[in-house]
Structure 1
Amino acid sequence: MSFRQTPPTHTPYDGSSKLFTIGLRPLDPGAWIAIDGHLLTYLAEKRRLYAEIPGRVFVEEEGTREAQREVLDLLGAHLVAKFPEVYQRFGTGVEVIGAPSNLHDGGLAAGSHAPLVAASLLVQEDLILMRRDESGWRLVAGSLCFPSSWSLIEKFGRPLQEIHAPVPGFGPGTRPADLINRMFDGLQGQAVERYNWSIQAGDALYHPLSNLERIDRTTNRPSKFSDGDIDVRAVIRVERQTLRKLPASRDVLFTIRIHLDPLSVLARHPDRARLAASFAAQLLALDEVQLDYKGMTADRDRLVAFLNHMTNAA
């Protein structure tokens, strides 16, 4: 996809959403889903992934179709009401004006008849369905076309505490893991949101990484960047995540929206000096385990130098 060249929409690295914290906050229901000028590009990439690697980007357990349909109905009603210039009713469903119809599309591979797939082809967000049982909140269905360094197949069917096991400080038995489970239990009609962010090389939306591909220390992993190309290749990957409990099934819908912004566009932000300084400070605050998890051990100092230069030049 072509890079966004305008100032970033979301800047959680300004200190408002620190890494490796839960950071949930109430969400205005009217702001649940966000769309922008890249909508059709995102949807085209989702269709490509569904056609080429369907088993890696969509999973479902038996008995989840009713909850998936609930997601599709809830999402469709919201989109038509909120964005009537972009979405319209079509038969018994909803479609994106100017995009291939989800209702008459024979070009998608297995899973294309699942309501969650149809829902995912309306929005830029990925959609994950969590269900409570005796083991906790488990991932029972999901459309994940734009993973941020994790594997849907590896997380499928697992409870939250196992899903978060690789995250420093969030593994089974930790206080954050217990808090997240209680938060899921406590969700009622309200929606909440949080932000996460990282740095990647290039503009790939599909950015998976299996746990098996992780190594204990990344000091021997080569740098993603050379000294002269950070301003060209470094991309800020921001995840806007929302959670809401579905009224009928009582499952929890987890949405993940990816924003990709070249690191260099920070230079166009009116508050660039403060943003760059905060960004650098947060990178410097990460310990070795956290840097390893984020894949930035080899690049942290180079990134910090670039941001400090931006701060001093402002």
Structure 2
Amino acid sequence: MSITTIHKDPDTAVLPERIRGFPFPYSGDSYRYSANVEPAGKTVTTEAGAWGGRLLDIDEYYLPDVKEREGVLDRDPSRLQVLPHMRPAVWDAIATLLPAMAEENPGTMSFRREGKNCRWQNTLQNLDVEFTIGDDSSLPMGPLRFLGSQIQDDMVFLDQREDALWLDAGLVTFAADWSLKFDVGMKFHEIHGPVPRVKEEQIVSRAEQFLMRLQPGEKYRRTNWTMTIDRRLDTSTETYPNWAQDRGTIAEDPALPDRVHLRVEVQHLIRLPHSGAILFLVRTYLLPLSDIARVPVWRERMGRVLAELPEDMAEYKGISRYRKTASDWLLAG
């Protein structure tokens, strides 16, 4: 006689928005690196709700996140890097993203343009600003920092030349254990060199070829995940001493389900229409295991993924010292 366990889906109406809109990344009980690229804008239905219907998602953390970004940039201006030849790409991003943001949020934002003269209104920030496309001095904080003050996403700009992609600009305040300052000016292949398995499986080569074939205005997306202790967005290598030690002690902490977060990046890949640069938008979502567990399918699936994950991948993600404890807790039900 076999016994079938039936998981009853939670009443999604009573789940908080941070769970209903969370981009849960696992489609099965195991995980391996892949490009997992799909067209942007398609809504993905999950066991808790849905995500993905907008290019620039605004959620309950919007104001705290942009405030945190400002604090990071004040403490460490090196998180913003623009090589001189990438200035047009930054303005291209402004002219692309602000209209999209206004279209997606007509009740709180608006963008008007006449020639190069623009007006941006954001009532969530009580902001009304006029500027001129291409004139850096028309935005006192500079164009890239201004754009970063309006969206929750990090931004990475890739230039295409010499049959390769180069990371030549970006604003990255919420990095997952990497450094924009270190990577700026490097080739796409060099940046991904430390990632286990991707070279042997030619994932990076295929991804680069895909990106170089993107046409102006095309938008795609992919997801990536790791885990973070506490709701800490800034886990860059610059701040490593502030958070690395928690990895070695969290397995013994009774508060592990509330402190350990699944960290998911929704990465949008856009060929900017005028400059031809490729823009990576990287939006980071964090959800504690205690919230994951409120969705029975998520709880079991994540537990199995962590249990099955190869050790080299767990080590690269920095979770090898606590992933078994996290998995055991999730699978205990």
TM-score (norm 1): 0.84
Would you say 1:63 and 2:85 are equivalent positions? yes
Change (3 A) 1:14 1:245: same
Whether the 8 Å contact between 1:19 and 1:197 is mirrored in structure 2 is no
**Structure 1, 296-305 or 92-101: larger mean CA deviation:** 92-101
CA shift for structure 1 position 156: 0.7
The gaps in structure 2 that reach 5 residues or longer are 1-15, 43-52, 131-138
* Separation of aligned partners in 2, 1:174 and 1:114: 41
- Residue matched to 1:185: 212
Task: Indicate the structure (1 or 2) with the bigger Cα radius of gyration.
Answer: 2
Pick from 195, 203, 207: which aligns with 1:176? Answer: 203
- Residue matched to 2:71: 48
* Separation of aligned partners in 2, 1:233 and 1:95: 37
Pick from 220, 235, 243: which aligns with 1:207? Answer: 235
Pick from 252, 255, 264: which aligns with 1:238? Answer: 264
Change (3 A) 1:246 1:309: same
* Separation of aligned partners in 1, 2:308 and 2:207: 24
Q: CA offsets per residue over residues 129-177 of structure 1, 9 Å max, x none?
A: 1001226111111011111111111111111101101111224x75112
Pick from 114, 120, 142: which aligns with 2:170? Answer: 142
Q: Secondary structure at the match of 2:206?
A: helix
Whether the 8 Å contact between 2:156 and 2:280 is mirrored in structure 1 is yes
- Residue matched to 1:247: 273
* Separation of aligned partners in 2, 1:102 and 1:161: 41
Would you say 1:26 and 2:49 are equivalent positions? no
Q: Secondary structure at the match of 2:305?
A: helix
Q: CA offsets per residue over residues 253-284 of structure 1, 9 Å max, x none?
A: 10000111111012322xx1x22222122212
Change (3 A) 1:170 1:254: same
Whether the 8 Å contact between 2:31 and 2:309 is mirrored in structure 1 is no
Pick from 300, 304, 318: which aligns with 1:281? Answer: 304
* Separation of aligned partners in 2, 1:149 and 1:82: 31
Q: Secondary structure at the match of 1:289?
A: helix
Whether the 8 Å contact between 1:203 and 1:260 is mirrored in structure 2 is yes
CA shift for structure 1 position 246: 0.8
Whether the 8 Å contact between 1:68 and 1:114 is mirrored in structure 2 is no
Would you say 1:161 and 2:189 are equivalent positions? yes
Would you say 1:309 and 2:332 are equivalent positions? yes
Q: Secondary structure at the match of 2:327?
A: helix
- Residue matched to 2:223: 195
The gaps in structure 1 that reach 5 residues or longer are 105-110
Change (3 A) 1:141 1:224: same
Matched AA of 1:295: G
Detail structure 1 runs of 4+ shifted over 6 Å in the superposition: none
Change (3 A) 1:7 1:98: closer
CA shift for structure 1 position 101: 4.1
Would you say 1:9 and 2:22 are equivalent positions? yes
Whether the 8 Å contact between 2:30 and 2:308 is mirrored in structure 1 is no
* Separation of aligned partners in 2, 1:133 and 1:275: 42
Would you say 1:151 and 2:179 are equivalent positions? yes
Change (3 A) 1:102 1:238: farther
Pick from 56, 66, 81: which aligns with 2:103? Answer: 81
Matched AA of 1:27: A
Would you say 1:267 and 2:293 are equivalent positions? yes
Matched AA of 2:93: V
Q: Work out the percentage of aligned pairs sharing the same amino acid.
A: 24
Pick from 255, 258, 268: which aligns with 2:284? Answer: 258
TM-score (norm 2): 0.79
CA shift for structure 1 position 243: 0.2
* Separation of aligned partners in 2, 1:283 and 1:53: 34
Q: CA offsets per residue over residues 167-196 of structure 1, 9 Å max, x none?
A: 11224x751121011011111142111111
Change (3 A) 1:74 1:231: same
CA shift for structure 1 position 14: 4.2
Whether the 8 Å contact between 2:41 and 2:55 is mirrored in structure 1 is yes
Pick from 293, 300, 304: which aligns with 2:323? Answer: 300
